[in-house]
Structure 1
Amino acid sequence: MTEQEAPEAAAADEINDKEMPLMEHLAELRKRLMWSAITFIIAFVVCYHFAARIYEFLAAPLAHALEARGEKPELIYTALFEAFFTYVKVSVFAAAFISFPMIAGQLWLFVAPGLYKREKRAMLPFLIVTPILFFMGGALAYYVFFPVAWRFFLSFQTSGGNGDVQIALMAKVSDYLNVVMKLIFAFGLSFELPVLLTLLGRVGIVNSAALKKYRRYAYVGCFIVAAIMAPPDVPSQCLMAGLLIFLFEISLFAVKMVEPKVPVEAEDA
C-alpha cells in the first residue's frame, strides 16, 4: 500500500457515527432493553398459552422410553402449585429460545456504532453462527442424548417378583423439567466453545500454538466443566466431557485458520 493510499484506507475504516453524550447512550440502551423486554414478554405470553404442549414435547423422549418398556408414560407432582410453576418455567425457557435472536440483534445495534468497519465485518459472522450452534447443541441433547440416557436410567427398575422389593420410577414434573433444561443449556453452551475461541484467535488474544501447548490442561478443564454442567452420573459426565474435547479440537483447527499470520522474521526473533 502506497503512502497516498494509506490515509484513504484509514479514513474508510473509521467509525462513521458521531459522538454521543452519556445521556444519549443511556437513552439508546434503554431503547434496546425495552425492545428486548417487549419481545420476551410477548414470547412468554404465547409460550404460556402452549405450555402444556411444549412440556409434552420436552417429555416425549421419556414417554417413548417408557412405552418401549411396556410402561405407562406419566409424571407426577406432589405439591399443589408445582404444576403451575412448572408451566411458568417451561414458558420462560421457550420464550428465551424464541426471543434470543431479537435480543442478540438489539445488542448488536447498540454495540455496532462504536466499532470500526473491519471489526463489524469480523464480528458479524460470529453473531450469525452463535444462535445456530446453540440450537444445534440443544437438538443434539434432545434427539441423541435424551433417548440413550433415559433408556439407561430406566434399566435400573425392577419388577419386585418373588418377594423382592420393587423399584419403579415416579418422576416429578418439576424435577424432569430441571434436568431437561439444564442439559439443553449445557449442550447449547458447549457448542459455543468454537465460536468463543475462534473469536479470541481472530483478535489475537489466543493462538493455536498456545492451545496445543496447554491441551492436556484443557482436557482436564473439560472434565471439570462436564462435572458441573452434566447430571451427577458418570456416563453423562463422560459424554459431556467427550463432546467438549471434540469441540476443543475443532476450535484449535478454526483458530489456526483465522489467527493473524506472524511474519517469519518475527518468529525468528
Structure 2
Amino acid sequence: MSADDDLDASKAPLMDHLIELRRRLLWSLAALAVAFLIAFTQSQKIFDFLVQPLGQAFGPGTDHKLIYTKLYEAFFVNIKVSLFAAFCLAFPVIASQLWAFVAPGLYKREKRAFLPFMLATPVLFTMGAALAYYVVMPTAFRFFLSFQSGGGTSGVSQEALPAMGDYLALVMQFIIAFGVAFLLPVLLMLLERAGILTRAQLIAGRRYAIVGAFVIAAVLTPPDLWSQFALAIPLILLYEISIIAIWFTERKRAREAVQIPAAAE
C-alpha cells in the first residue's frame, strides 16, 4: 500500500469521528434550546426563587425591592436566568451525549473507572450550589445590608436598592464558584488516574493547597471574610477527602494487580 493510500485510509475514521461529534453537538444544542424555551416560560418563578436569599437577608415584614435602571434590563435578566436554568436542565442530556461520544474509544476497565466521575460531577456541583444558596448567600447579604443607615448626624441616609442585573450576576457568581469548587475531588482523582499527580505529592503540597484555597476564595467570592472562609474551608476539606479517596483507589488497584496474575496462572 502506498503512502497516499495510507493517508486516505486514515481520513475515513477521522471523518467518521467528526460526523459523530457533529451529531452529538446537534443533540446537545437541541436539548439546550428546548430547555431554554421551557425555562423562559418560567423565568419569573426561577428569578423569584433566586431572590429568596435576599428576602431572608432583609427580614420578614420589611419593604424591599429590586430595581432596574435600563428599560431593557429586566428582559435581559429573564434571558440570563433562562439560559442558566436551561443549562442545568439540559446537563444530563449533554453529559450523556459526551459519554456516548467518548465511551466507544474506551476499554471496559476505563469505562468503569470514568463513569463514576461523570455521575459525581452533577452531585458535587449541586452540593456546592446548595451550600451557596441556603447558607452563604443569606449570611453574606445580611452583612452587606448592615451598612444601611438612617442618616444620623449627617442627615444623609444609606439605603440598599439593588439592581436586578447586578443581583443576578452576584447570585450566579456565588452558585458557579461554589459549584465548580466542589468538583475539586473529581479533578484531583482524574489527575491521579492519568498519572499526573500522586497521593504523596498531594500530601506534600498540603500547605500550598491551603494557601491556594484562600486565594481561590478571595478571587471567586465577594470581598467579605464570611464568603471567603465559607468557600476556602470546604475546599480544604475536599482536598483532604480527595487524598483519602485516592488512598482507597490505590488499594483497590493493588488488589486487582495481585488478582490478575493469580487468575492467569
Shorter-chain TM-score bucket reads: 0.7 to 0.9
Tell me if structure 1 keeps the 8 A contact 2:137–2:174: no
Q: Work out the CA distance in 1 between the residues paired with 2:46 and 2:104.
A: 38
Tell me if structure 2 keeps the 8 A contact 1:67–1:73: no
Tell me if structure 2 keeps the 8 A contact 1:138–1:187: yes
> Tell me, which stretches of 5 or more residues in structure 2 are unaligned?
1-10, 258-265
**Aligned positions of 1:136-147 closer than 5 A:** 136-147=127-138
Please list the CA deviations of residues 67-122 of structure 1 after superposition, one character each: whole Å capped at 9, or x if unmatched.
Answer: 33x42121000001111111100001101111111101100100111001100010
Out of 212-221 and 52-61, give the one that drifted further: 212-221
Aligned to 1:195: 186
Give the letter aligned to residue 240 of structure 2: E
| 1:98 and 2:89 matched | yes
| 1:52 and 2:44 matched | yes
Please list the CA deviations of residues 33-92 of structure 1 after superposition, one character each: whole Å capped at 9, or x if unmatched.
Answer: 000000000000111111111000000110122133x42121000001111111100001
TM-superposed deviation, 1:163: 4.8
Please list the CA deviations of residues 151-206 of structure 1 after superposition, one character each: whole Å capped at 9, or x if unmatched.
Answer: 12111111224553211101000000000001101111011001111222234332
Tell me if structure 2 keeps the 8 A contact 1:222–1:245: yes
Give the letter aligned to residue 66 of structure 1: F
| 1:113 and 2:104 matched | yes
Aligned to 2:261: none
TM-superposed deviation, 1:150: 1.3
Aligned residues: 244
Give the alignment partner of residue 239 of structure 2, picking from 232, 244, 248: 248
Q: Secondary structure at the match of 2:67?
A: coil
Give the letter aligned to residue 42 of structure 1: V
Give the alignment partner of residue 65 of structure 1, picking from 57, 64, 73: 57
Tell me if structure 2 keeps the 8 A contact 1:202–1:258: no
Give the letter aligned to residue 79 of structure 2: V
Give the letter aligned to residue 57 of structure 1: F
Q: Work out the CA distance in 2 between the residues paired with 1:29 and 1:174.
A: 36
Give the alignment partner of residue 24 of structure 1, picking from 16, 23, 44: 16
Tell me if structure 2 keeps the 8 A contact 1:76–1:172: yes
Tell me if structure 1 keeps the 8 A contact 2:103–2:111: yes
Q: TM-score, normalised by structure 1?
A: 0.86
Q: Secondary structure at the match of 1:21?
A: helix
Give the alignment partner of residue 231 of structure 1, picking from 222, 234, 248: 222
| C-alpha RMSD of the superposition | 1.9
TM-superposed deviation, 1:224: 1.7
Tell me if structure 2 keeps the 8 A contact 1:226–1:238: yes
| 1:129 and 2:120 matched | yes
Give the letter aligned to residue 101 of structure 1: P
Give the alignment partner of residue 200 of structure 2, picking from 203, 209, 224: 209
Q: Work out the CA distance in 2 between the residues paired with 1:126 and 1:189.
A: 14
Aligned to 2:171: 180
| Identical pairs, percent | 52
Out of 251-260 and 134-143, give the one that drifted further: 251-260
Give the letter aligned to residue 71 of structure 1: T
> Tell me, which stretches of 5 or more residues in structure 1 are unaligned?
1-18, 264-269
| 1:77 and 2:75 matched | no
Q: Work out the CA distance in 1 between the residues paired with 2:216 and 2:141.
A: 22
Q: Work out the CA distance in 1 between the residues paired with 2:226 and 2:59.
A: 23
Give the alignment partner of residue 157 of structure 2, picking from 162, 166, 172: 166
TM-superposed deviation, 1:130: 0.8
Structure-2 change in CA distance of 1:153 and 1:33 (3 Å): same
Tell me if structure 2 keeps the 8 A contact 1:207–1:256: no
TM-superposed deviation, 1:20: 6.3
